[in-house]
Structure 1
Amino acid sequence: MPLTLRLILLALIAIAPVACTLPGGSPTATSSISFMVFGDAAEKAAYERLVAEFRQRHPDIDVTLIHIPGQSDYRKRLGVDFAAGTPADIVLLNYRRYAAFAAKGALEPLGPYLDQSTLLSPGDFYTEAMTPFIWKGVLMCIPQNLSSLAVYYNRDLFRAAGLPDPSPDWTWDDFLQTARTLTQDTDGDGDIDQYGLGTEVSLFRVAPFIWQNGGDLVDHPQTPTRLALDTPAAREAIQWFVDLQVKHRVTPDAVAEAAESSESRFLNGRLGMFLNSRRGVPTYRTITGFDWDVAPLPQGRQRAGILHADAFCMAQVSRQKAAAWTFIEFANSGEGQHIIATTGRTVPSLRIVAGSPAFLDPQARPANSQVFLDSIPFIRTVPIMETWVDIEDLAGEELKRAFYGQATVDQAIAAAIARAQPFFGASQ
């Protein structure tokens, strides 16, 4: 281990919480808390490491890790548990989804805890990560990460096709031409065996391209009253995104995607590029059959990325608030974020960890992790509103219809706006 990294780690480990009067009181002699997360096996292993290290530091606090593999199942479990009044003491929530719980008073505000912490300071975090978790003027959760959408690419397939690595300033046209070159019928049977691009089809995926083209998702980002997907700039970006499939055929169609997901194709070495945030890295590090790296999103009229951020949130009904805060505080300290960063799971929300070898490790893939830090100044967020999940889901259904050739872009946009409209009134 390099001397500089050893010194950083020793300094982080030497820091310990100083006793103080917390909003939730002090931990009891023996406290038991639960912590619920989602993700695949590699992500689960990352949080198991975090919990194990915490137990070494705080043997008087027992942490039960509850792992739900799928995001959909995780969201359902959250809804059921909170409705029943039996949520885990600590849950991971995305910034797009916490507002529904905050609006119902289901979350314990963590701003007062942070204000009294001697281990954490608001100024240590990227403001781009912290600001979205402020609800009605109060910080509700502590973000562990901030990532933008990025392009994961198979370097072996690029080399085989005679393509250079993507440049930092590549354009939409460059991106499309690359995807075309990588889309191939490798065995000559008339069917595409290798696609140039794979992506989730959702409003969240198309959003950065809308922003890059000068459009927006809603009419007023701070006080939205409707979707604004029908503006010329937004429509043009959506058409470009949809044309990747219906016109250029560089992504799998609905049948091919149902047969095998794009992420699976990437893992198996039969997909040139895949759009994802940083959270895919622990899984991609299991790849042994080919070389891969990460590139920034291609640029449109202006640079723009989209925030991916999860935060540690405390249930308001928790009976062990002090113990829960002790874990949240540790998880987001330099030591705690270092543990998760080395697994590849996060772009740390702590500036010092994001700039350290724990994240920018030249020996660990992706080699170009700096891409995520360079994108931070251009990150934008979706609206923070309690009904945004419903709006996003409905719009996503319509975008899929267009992407897979079941509706025109204009039909999809009109349907998305109409279906989503009732949820804007419900959030006010």
Structure 2
Amino acid sequence: MKKRLRTFLIAMLVCCLVGIFYYTQKPVVLTIGVFAGSNWNVPSPDSGKIIDSAIKRFEKTHPNVQVKYVSGILKDDYSAWLSKEALDGKLPDVFMVLSDDLSTYAKVGMLESLDAYMQTDPDFNQSRYFSTTLNAGNIYDQQYALPYESSPTLMFVNKTLLEENGIEIPNVNWTWDDFYAICEKLTVDTDDDGEIDQFGEYGYTWENALSSNGQALLDEKSMKSTLQNEDVYSAIEFVRKLNLLNRGQNVTSEMFDKGKVAFCPMMFSEYRTYKPYPWSVKKYSNFEWECLPMPAGPSGYNASQMDSLLCGISKMSSKKKMAWEFLKLLCYDETTQESLFKYSQGVSVLKNVSTSKNVTKYIQEDAPLDSNYNLEFFDDMMEQAITIKKLDGYDQLYSMADSEIRRVIDTNEDIEPAMQNLNDELNILLEKQ
């Protein structure tokens, strides 16, 4: 009897030990939410390599952890997929956040506030970020996401066209006056057929003008429209003045591609896509480039708008400490951030990465012909960049403003009363939200 009891107890002990061993060895699964391709709507077949490499490095330093994600989700489907996962209680522990979605996700409680993590982690120093990129993930006075990748808007210059006309490339502190003077000189009828066929600029908008004159569509803190302002009036007047140079001619992207236009604002990510085969198809092979920050208005500075892809932690996650470590690997690790320049089209959100020798090499490889970019202004430009935070209702607000401002630019209507009326209408719309 005693022998049977002893055998039974030994068997139970072995079972318990096996169970404990199995439980402790069972991998911890960390889920992440990502989408396939580029955030910037350009071809990006290698962007997945960045995530896969980060996962491999994380699993190597965390041997009992498996990082999993659903592959093949397109960017256009990603927001809807993520919302459904949240409704089903299956929100990934760490997930990418489109800039358009930050406000909504923070408001409905999908995102964990990162303030405490940032303040208590001795290995985290937020001063390593460009302040503008870090601010992109801050909304409602809390940090809900870290920036993963950014893309500023720069002014790209047809260097060949300027040189052929004896015009020097403007310096990085150029102004609206410099911009207009060059556009005026280059907007001409080159073949004397009575129609202008060479132009100063393509794609410069009222938004570009507002940003570089120290203004915005609305104040994010007061949630009031700010169009009733002298600096707004002068920005819209400047765009109207530029458009009048074209004498009713519609300047197109094809004209720019053919080297017939001097200036074009372009996201850095968009430019980088054109160089690598096969998407380039020699698109810009007939002229050399320079890139500059945007021209400064009289009340502003050389400010560019910037968009950022963000990354956050699920409020529902049961593995938040581990999620924070993986979040840092994506958004704070220099190896990951440097690989953005090799496999993606945006720029790093970390100061010292964007100025490294390897990064300079990657960017230079994208320069057409013998162009040799001088990116010494890059740090200053990133620090001065403006992020448009799309709070609830922003799209409707913007659509209404854009339609009216474009109409005013295309007419001789008095700008000041038109903007005052639009300002009142936008504020009424904001009060209803």
TM-score by length of 1: 0.74
Larger Rg: 2
Does the 8 A contact of 2:303 with 2:384 survive in 1? yes
Does the 8 A contact of 1:282 with 1:343 survive in 2? no
- Match for residue 93 of structure 1 among 93, 98, 106: 98
- Match for residue 267 of structure 2 among 263, 277, 282: 277
How far is the alpha carbon of 1:410 from its aligned partner? 4.2
Does the 8 A contact of 1:148 with 1:372 survive in 2? no
Q: 1:167 to 1:137 in 2, by over 3 A?
A: closer
- Return the letter of the residue paired with 1:135: I
- Match for residue 210 of structure 1 among 210, 213, 220: 213
Runs (4+) of structure 1 exceeding 6 A deviation are 317-321
**1:380-413 CA-partner distances (Å, limit 9, x unpaired):** 4556743334333321222222334496534652
Which residue does 1:128 correspond to in 2?
132
Asked if 1:330 corresponds to 2:329, the answer is yes
Does the 8 A contact of 2:148 with 2:309 survive in 1? yes
Does the 8 A contact of 2:95 with 2:314 survive in 1? no
- Return the letter of the residue paired with 2:327: I
Asked if 1:40 corresponds to 2:41, the answer is yes
Q: 1:244 to 1:178 in 2, by over 3 A?
A: same
Q: Distance in 1 between matches of 2:415 and 2:27?
A: 58
Does the 8 A contact of 1:39 with 1:67 survive in 2? no
Q: 1:231 to 1:276 in 2, by over 3 A?
A: same
SS of alignment partner, residue 151 of structure 1: strand
Q: What are the residue-to-residue correspondences of 1:7-406 with 2, within 5 Å?
A: 28-29=27-28, 33-36=32-35, 38-42=39-43, 44-45=44-45, 47-58=47-58, 60-63=66-69, 64=71, 66-68=73-75, 74=76, 78=79, 82=83, 85=86, 90-94=95-99, 98-114=102-118, 120-145=124-149, 148-199=152-203, 201=205, 203=207, 205-211=208-214, 217-218=217-218, 221=219, 223-245=221-243, 247-249=244-246, 256=250, 260=252, 262=253, 265-285=255-275, 286=280, 287-301=284-298, 302-314=300-312, 316=314, 328-332=327-331, 333-342=333-342, 345-361=345-361, 363-364=364-365, 365=367, 367-382=373-388, 385-405=391-411
**1:128-165 CA-partner distances (Å, limit 9, x unpaired):** 32234223443111113456542111112222222211
**1:200-258 CA-partner distances (Å, limit 9, x unpaired):** 6353x2322331xxx5644xx4632532222222211211122211x2228x86xx36x
SS of alignment partner, residue 273 of structure 2: helix
SS of alignment partner, residue 170 of structure 1: coil
- RMSD over aligned CA atoms reads 3.6
TM-score by length of 2: 0.73
Structure 2 unaligned residues grouped into runs of 5+ = 1-25, 60-65
Q: 1:110 to 1:66 in 2, by over 3 A?
A: farther
Does the 8 A contact of 1:207 with 1:306 survive in 2? no
SS of alignment partner, residue 398 of structure 1: helix
Which residue does 1:10 correspond to in 2?
none
SS of alignment partner, residue 213 of structure 2: helix
**1:249-278 CA-partner distances (Å, limit 9, x unpaired):** 28x86xx36xx5x3x543443332111333
SS of alignment partner, residue 234 of structure 2: helix
- Return the letter of the residue paired with 1:45: P
Q: Distance in 2 between matches of 1:325 and 1:47?
A: 22
Structure 1 unaligned residues grouped into runs of 5+ = 1-26, 69-73
SS of alignment partner, residue 367 of structure 1: coil
Q: Distance in 2 between matches of 1:124 and 1:209?
A: 26
Q: Distance in 2 between matches of 1:407 and 1:56?
A: 60
